[in-house]
């Protein structure tokens, strides 16, 4: 499990992505290393990988970059993925600003929303209903 920085519940908001977290430089290369066992399993057993939940709390510094780096790796590996979580809690919301405590959706698309929508726009329909 990879946890994005940014302060959640009682955890402090003292780190940014990319950045050093607990003495480790977290960036796309670090995420790639963390996902390596899953990638190796995929290749060894010729299985399909589905990432059921990933996100970054919306006020985390670098949240859009974290989402972009994760999605780029998922796509590179041919994995399917779902963003966590659409309209469940405003902290995960792509529709709310990056300001903690601002509980109203913004009329301007956030960088996080633009990142996810950019990847959604590349989806290809398997069939027409």
Question: How confident is the model at residue 13, as a pLDDT?
Answer: 56
Cα 68 from Cα 105, distance rounded (Å)? 21
pLDDT above 90 covers what percent of the chain?
A: 71
Burial class (CB in 10 A: 0-12, 13-18, 19+), 62: buried
95 upstream amide cis, omega within 30 of 0: no
Question: How confident is the model at residue 1, as a pLDDT?
Answer: 43
Cα 112 from Cα 58, distance rounded (Å)? 8
Mean pLDDT by 10 residues, the chain (129 residues): 50 77 93 98 97 92 96 96 89 93 92 93 75
Helix (H, G, I), strand (E, B) or coil at 105: strand
Question: How confident is the model at residue 62, as a pLDDT?
Answer: 95
8 Å CB contact between 58 and 97: yes
pTM: 0.84
């Amino acid at each position: 499990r990879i946890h994005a920085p940014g302060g959640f519940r009682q955890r402090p908001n003292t780190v940014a992505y990319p950045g050093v977290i607990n003495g480790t430089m977290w960036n796309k290369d670090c995420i790639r290393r963390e996902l390596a066992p899953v990638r190796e399993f995929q290749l060894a057993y010729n299985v399909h990988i589905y990432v059921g939940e990933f996100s970054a709390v919306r006020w985390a510094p670098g949240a859009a970059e974290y989402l972009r780096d994760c999605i780029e790796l998922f796509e590179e590996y041919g994995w399917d993925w779902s963003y966590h979580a659409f309209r469940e809690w405003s902290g995960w919301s792509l529709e709310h600003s990056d300001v903690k405590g601002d509980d109203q959706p913004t009329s301007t698309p956030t960088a996080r929303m633009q990142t996810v929508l950019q990847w959604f726009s590349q989806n290809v329909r398997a069939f027409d209903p």
